Amino acid sequence: MLQALIKSQDFLKFTLDNPQYFEEGGTFSIGEHTQVEVWDTGVIVFEPRSIAAGSSEHKDIVLSCAVHGNETAPIELCNALIKELLQEKIIAKQRVLFLFGNPPAIINGTRFIEENLNRLFNGAHSAGEGLTNPERIRAKKLEQYVDTFFSTKSKPMQRIHYDLHTAIRASKHEKFAIYPYRPGRQYSAEQIMFLEACGIDTVLFHHEPTTTFSYYSSKNYQADAFTIELGKVLPFGKNDMTRFIALKEMLNRLITDAPLGLNKFDETQVNLYQVCRAINKGFDDFEFTFANDVENFTAFPRGYILAKEGGMDIKVEHDVEAIVFPNAKVPVGQRTVLCLKPASTDNIA
Ligand SMILES: O=C(O)CCC(=O)N[C@@H](CCC(=O)O)C(=O)O
Ligand SMILES: [Zn+2]
């Protein structure tokens, strides 16, 4: 079955041709230098043979996309990197795991089929009604693939997980990253400047544990993990891939162990926000007061009524709060919006 992938060198096509389950799995080599393993549909690992058993000189890198099936730009980007590896245009010097999160939702052209996959990590897949739908089953498997990848005998010098997304709305800062909650650990200045070199000049520091994929890797493996938003969601073929040249170049350098050439941390080069609260939906009649085309990072003054539900007003609590990811159409109990205030740089090292 892997012959089809070896021939086409198109992992996206191979994944979408086999969206449910890749029964045999399988392994093959690229030249003398790389072992390739396909663990499941949408799951492929590149293992450089140059990494000696027990070596701690290398990095373990997870690049995930399509945790939301209709967010196509990250899928095209990951597929391009995989193609370059398969075609030996680039040669991996670090271990790399690529994950296409939700193949059935990619085919469907939707965010998810039954349940938002990015609300099901950190064990949420098995809570309540348990493993009752495809996303719950997939979330558990994705956790297991990350566990297996990050649990090899060698202990890498760094674990990285970039979970690539696009946002539903346009944003005042086109590309931005969410830094998962990290109690007791400082934020990495080097990672923030890596993101900046990728053209991702805005970082949000999350204020609490979540059920997202990036938080899973951050919490369980102390990975440098981020959810990364790369612009507004568009269908396949409509993405302007020139907007990702810097990101692709930096990921290329990371994978091939080329010099990253990062600038020293400079807070004037980045926009840093602290999440001050997540507003969860309490009632079915939840609605925002602002229009659907209001952009992410739009700021509102203290006292402004952001939303209404159950006969109550939900108001801005700080002098100014910017909003990100407003979405009233989520199930009761889930996040409708994150509110942001300027972040301090005290905890960045
Ligand atoms: O644009 C939107 O409303 C959602 C975009 C998106 O999928 N964002 C992620 C962020 C995850 C995080 O907070 O780390 C999500 O909502 O899952
Ligand atoms: Zn997404």
| Residue 296 beta carbon below 6 angstroms from any ligand 1 atom | no
Average pLDDT over residues 27-52: 95
Write the DSSP string, 18-70: S-S--SS-EEEEETTTEEEEEEETTEEEEEETTS-TT--SSEEEEEEE-SSTT
* Residue to probe by mutation, ligand 1, list 211, 325, 336, most atoms within 8 Å of CB: 325
User: Rounded to an integer, what distance in angstroms lies between the CA atom of residue 319 and that of residue 272?
Assistant: 17
- The interface predicted TM-score of the complex, written ipTM, equals 0.97
Beta-strand relationship, 158-167 and 224-232: parallel
Tokens of 27: 């392994």
Mean of pLDDT over the chain: 96
First to last CA, the chain: 47
The rounded percent of the chain whose pLDDT value lies above 70 is 99
Q: Looking at beta carbons, which pairs linking 310-317 to residues 24 or more positions away fall under 8 Å?
A: 310/282, 310/283, 310/285, 314/279, 317/276, 317/277
Query: Is the beta carbon of 273 within 6 A of some atom in ligand 1?
Result: no
* Catalytic residue flag (residue 24): no
The pLDDT score that the predictor gives to residue 74 is 98
For residue 321, what pLDDT band results from cuts at 50, 70 and 90? very high
Is the shortest distance between the CB of 102 and ligand 1 below 6 Å?
A: no
CA of 168 to the centre of ligand 1 (A): 9
State the ligand closest to the CA atom of 226.
1
Our answer on whether the CB atom of 325 is closer than 6 Å to any ligand 1 atom is yes
With a cut of 70, say whether residue 14 has pLDDT above it: yes
Q: Which atom belonging to ligand 1 lies closest to the Cα atom of 226?
A: 14
Supply 290's token pair.
């602002």
CA angle 219, 139, 16 (to 5 degrees): 130
Give the per-residue pLDDT at 22. Answer: 64
Q: Which residue has a Cα nearest atom 3 of ligand 1?
A: 325
In sequence order, which ranges of 222-331 are alpha helices (DSSP H)? 245-256
Q: Which residues are annotated as a binding site for Zn(2+)?
A: 68, 71, 165
From CA 76, how far away is CA 239, in angstroms rounded? 9
The predicted pLDDT at position 102 comes to 98
* Atom from ligand 1 closest to the CA of residue 206: 13
C-alpha 285 – ligand 1 centre gap (Å): 22
Task: Please identify which of the residues 47, 135, 143, 229 carries the catalytic annotation.
Answer: 229
